[in-house]
Amino acid sequence: MERFARLPTAAKLLLILTAAILPIGIGLTILGESGIRQANEALRGHEQEQARAAVQSIESLIARNALALRVAANGAISSGGADSCDRARKSLAIAPAIAQSFELEAADGTPLCATGRVGDTGQLPIIAPGDIRVRIAPGADSIAIRAGVVGGMVTAALPMSEIRTAAGDAGRTIKLLILRDGDGELRVLAPPDGDPRLAISEWPIGDGGLIARIGTKPQRVSTEDRLMLLLPVLMWVAAALVTWLLVSRLLIRPLKRLERAVRDYQPGQSPIELPRKLGPSTEIQALRDAFARAIARVEDSERDMVNALEGQRRLVREVHHRVKNNLQVVASLLNIHGRSAETGEAQAAYAGIGRRVGALSVVHRNHFAEMEENRGIALRPLITELAAELRAGAPDVARGLSIELELDTVYTTQDVAVAVAFLVTEIVEFSMLNCPQDPVELSLRRTSELTARLTIASKVLNPDDEESRDKMQFERIVAGLAKQLRSPLERKLARYSVDLPVFPAV
């Protein structure tokens, strides 16, 4: 079923028509072939009947002539005299379809008298009274009939025309008639071209004295009739072909054109161009119009979404812009209050808070800048700007602090950027307050498709030092920021490292 389901629609229809119509066509063909075979057998039987009827007609002709000759000859020979043949001829004249050429012979075969042309009868056998013999006449142009009577015999010549007439009356399909008696042959009917396609049969005549070879024109179911048997199969072929053509041209081809137009459509690039001419099928045209309406609604909805997204983007940009400005105002206020503080500790506290507010402001400023590209916050410019602001806001003892940067271009989310900014601020501030003369090295390297490693190196970073109150607070802060990055903080001598999630490289 899965293989059938994968077939094209035209192939499915062809298989369905084959399963539905072809068995009927095969069954009708088998029945038709059986009918033709029975018809041929009936025709062969009819040919045999016609040949038998022709033989019976010839035998009837011979028997009628023999009986008439015997009656006429018996009376003529028994009366004697020179006018025996005249008396016999007069007796035969009143009998229809009787040979008028005959010869009366004595019992030893000596001719007594003759009427008409009989030919040489000396080669015919002597027969006893009551017997009848039929032979081919010596001239091979007629049949000699000899009948035995008391005191003699009578011999008559049956013309070939009468034999042909008798055979023709029995059946018009008789095309060949040859009579044989072992010594001679009489060709009564013979086709002029010697047609070899005749159906030949042989029949005995006159107690086997003659053999009739009869040829009839065979009547069989013609090739045209046999081709008619293929009509059911041809019907299946025509139905399958017409169905395939109609389905291909009126259904499959328009649907493929429509599918190609929909597949080539690229939203936002160009309006969809659906084919105008899709054949006479109104359903496919309705489907095309439905596609056009659906795509128009999708485009309208997409435009609404784009406009809404653009408004949301402008709103978020405005929020980030105002947050950035507010943070900068807070940082400025902290700086002003820090300058007017009376004690150094208060000034340092104000400066530390200002540096953290400034770091958060840097994150918002970079996020505001990256919103147009929508790829996330780029850490390289963020850390670079943050390092510059940290150096600018360093206390007097750390004005000469060197911050060395080796940064890859990677992008990340705002939450990660905030944690990175605070982590860098905490470590750099701890270094500038505790070891301002030593440089700080910042390194950011992509380690995989989705991670990068941030490494900060400074001599002040020593996890084995005696933990003062400031050091303990520092370690808790950097550990907490590392947890926000969902990665443990790796502490080594003069080097702290942490892995952070980033976006895949474009």
Per residue in 100-122, pLDDT (tens digit) is: 777 778 877 777 787 777 766 66
Confidence of residue 370 (pLDDT cuts 50, 70, 90): low
Residue 310 to residue 337: CA distance in whole angstroms: 40
- Check if the beta carbon of residue 88 is closer than 8 Å to that of residue 81: no
Average pLDDT over residues 145-161: 81
- Check if the beta carbon of residue 398 is closer than 8 Å to that of residue 377: no
Residues 179-221 pLDDT 10s? 887 777 777 777 766 556 777 878 888 666 788 887 777 766 6
Residue of higher predicted confidence among 243 and 498: 498
How large a percentage of the chain has pLDDT more than 70?
Answer: 71
Structure tokens at 54: 């022709």
State the pairing for strand pair 495-501/451-457. Answer: antiparallel
State the pairing for strand pair 411-412/174-180. Answer: unpaired
The CA-CA-CA angle for residues 356, 360, 366, to 5°, reads 140
Q: What is the mean pLDDT of the chain?
A: 76
- Check if the beta carbon of residue 500 is closer than 8 Å to that of residue 417: no
Residues 387-402 pLDDT 10s? 888 787 777 777 778 8
Residues 81-107 pLDDT 10s? 556 777 777 776 666 667 777 777 887
Sign, CA dihedral 226-232-238-240, equals negative
Nearest to 352 by CA among 404, 398, 385: 398
State residue 188's pLDDT score: 77
State residue 240's pLDDT score: 74
In this structure, of 53-62, 311-320, 332-341, the range with the lowest mean pLDDT score is: 332-341
Beta strands in 358-504 (DSSP E): 377-378, 403-407, 411-412, 440-446, 451-457, 490-492, 495-501
Location of structure tokens 């009577």: 149
Residue of higher predicted confidence among 7 and 256: 256
Confidence of residue 499 (pLDDT cuts 50, 70, 90): very high
Residue 155 to residue 131: CA distance in whole angstroms: 12
| CATH number, domain 310-501 | 3.30.565.10
150: Cβ contacts below 8 Å, ≥ 6 apart = 74, 77, 78, 129
Residue 415 to residue 399: CA distance in whole angstroms: 30
Residue 136 to residue 157: CA distance in whole angstroms: 9
One DSSP character per residue, 376-403 reads -EEHHHHHHHHHHHHHHT--GGGTT--E
Produce one character per residue of 377-392: b if its CB has 16 or more CB atoms within 10 Å, e if not: bbbebbbbbbbebbbe
Could you give the count of Cα atoms lying within 13 Å of 10 in the half-sphere of its Cβ? 15
- Cα distances (angstroms) measured from residue 490 to each of 225, 405, 463, 495: 99, 19, 10, 8
Average pLDDT over residues 27-42: 71
pLDDT value at 373 more than 60: no
Residue 499 to residue 482: CA distance in whole angstroms: 9
Nearest to 73 by CA among 134, 159, 157, 147: 147
CATH 3.30.565.10 domain span(s) along the chain:
310-501
- Check if the beta carbon of residue 271 is closer than 8 Å to that of residue 238: no
pLDDT value at 154 more than 60: yes
Phi and psi at residue 456, to the nearest 5°? -120, 120
The neighbouring-strand residues paired with 186 are 179
